[in-house]
Amino acid sequence: GGIITQTPKFLIGQEGQKLTLKCQQNFNHDTMYWYRQDSGKGLRLIYYSITENDLQKGDLSEGYDASREKKSSFSLTVTSAQKNEMAVFLCASRLQGNQDTQYFGPGTRLLVL
Residues lying near another protein in the complex (CB under 8 A): 31, 33, 40-45, 48, 50, 56, 58-59, 90, 92, 94, 96-97, 100-107
Among residues 31 and 75, whose Cβ is nearest to another protein?
31
Q: Which of 60, 75, 69, 80 is nearest to 108 (CA)?
A: 75
Comparing CB distances to another protein, the nearer of 43 and 67 is 43
Distance, in Å, from the CA atom of 78 to the CA atom of 84, rounded to the nearest integer, reads: 14
Q: How far is the CB of 103 from another protein (least distance, A)?
A: 7
Residue 54 CB, shortest distance to another protein, in Å, is 10
How far apart are CB 88 and another protein at their closest, in Å? 8
CA 34 to chain centre: 3
Distance CA 39, CA 103 (A): 21
Q: Which residue lies nearer to another protein by CB, 17 or 60?
A: 60
Q: What share of the chain is helix, strand, coil (3-state, %, to 5)?
A: 0, 55, 45
